[in-house]
Amino acid sequence: MFKHSRKIIALTAALALTSTMGLAALAQAETGKSFSIVEAASNQDSLTIPEIADKCRTSVVAIETETTVVYNTYDNNYPYGLFGFGYGYGYGGRSNRQQEYTETAAGSGIVLSEDGYILTNNHVISGADKITVYVMPEEEGGEETTYEATLVSSSESNDIAILKIDAEGLNPATFGDSDNLEIGELAVAIGNPMGSVHGSVTAGIISATERELTIDGVTISAIQTDAAINPGNSGGALFDSYGNVIGIVYAKSSSVSIEGIGYAIPVNDVKELIDQMINDPESVQAQTKGSQIMLGITIQDITEELSEQYSMPVGVYIREVSELSAAERAGLQKGDIIVEFAGEPVTCADDLNALKAEQTPGDTVEVKIDRNSKEMTLEIVIPQPTQVETAN
């Protein structure tokens, strides 16, 4: 890949930031031609921040998802908005009436091809019943175009997903070289912060490279930037000074007291996988399905704040248990709170995922849970990866 000598561009303004960005690619311009992300690399001269915003703005899309959540109204002490369900913790024996509501979430995406392939994070669209993509207008002040997207392929272990919308003439992002980054060089993010500021632009520098980061059991060697990253930016892009995507916006620091620390997945780490996910999605799904040990549960953290507010133990709340899964066979139920796994304390999903990864398929391990304010211990058989059918 052509390497440019890079200038460190002094930043004079903090622009409004990012959430979903562009990534590179021409896709199947000719019949039978395979998609190749590398072919989209740019070799132009460095740009100013306004030039980057103008070039890349329409290569970034906003994403909105809708997910139907079913919950049990055991007791009104816990508003369903708290966890996304209405489990009446600690109040057994009440009437159990199922209700449902639609949960919405937002993220960003990167245009890969003129005919509508979109890159985003897997966690942005995971479990969604409906995915809507908003494409920025060519002219500022124009109306966005709305599309319903279909999921082409996803990789939970790499936290990326490919969507497809029925569109033509989109502006694909160009793809850069994330192995050639220098600390202190310009970084520009464009995206959908808070799910409401489509096409927002922020700028900063590359603060560090190869920062190990683990979220929801996915570990990456991340690019760190001080360009503003906020909820809704996930799946967007981090651009270099040439207007090329060098990172897929992934997360910000988990500490609410710390600002100016955001992370992105280096594009070089996923270039080949992106090509394969578009050209041969079935093979990718076959490779990634069961690549992690999954127990068959959908979970959510109970933080110390929630624990104190509702007199619940800190741990991992089970939102759903899949039929015929290892969790169901072990006797785990919706509403249980996992507090220990394999003899080690569990305070969040990261703890559970890390402990789960240490186990050997076929082993029997103890799971300590809190069920209706009563502590009990169950035994679960760790499933073979190829037998997993659900996401956690």
**Catalytic amino acids?**
123, 159, 234
Question: How far from 135 is each of 77, 120, 243, CA to CA, in Å?
Answer: 41, 14, 18
Task: Please say whether the beta carbons of 245 and 176 come within 8 A.
Answer: yes
Residue 340 forms beta bridges with which residues? 345, 368
Q: Measuring CA to CA, which residue among 322, 332, 334 is closest to residue 377?
A: 332
Q: Which helix (H) or strand (E) holds 315?
A: strand 315-321
Measured torsion, CA atoms of residues 205, 211, 213, 219, in degrees rounded to the nearest 10: 120
SS3 content of the chain, % helix, strand, coil (to 5): 15, 35, 45
Q: What is the rounded distance in angstroms from the CA atom of residue 355 to the CA atom of residue 346?
A: 9
Q: Measuring CA to CA, which residue among 1, 17, 10 is closest to residue 239?
A: 17
Please report, as a single letter, which amino acid is at residue 330: A
Task: Please say whether the beta carbons of 266 and 274 come within 8 A.
Answer: no
Three-class DSSP category at 68: strand
- Read out DSSP for 168-235? SS--PBEE--GGG--TT-EEEEEE-GGGT-TTEEEEEEEEEEEEEEEETTEEEEEEEE-S-B-TT-TT
Q: What is the rounded distance in angstroms from the CA atom of residue 361 to the CA atom of residue 385?
A: 8
DSSP 36: B
Residue keyed to tokens 């927002």: 200
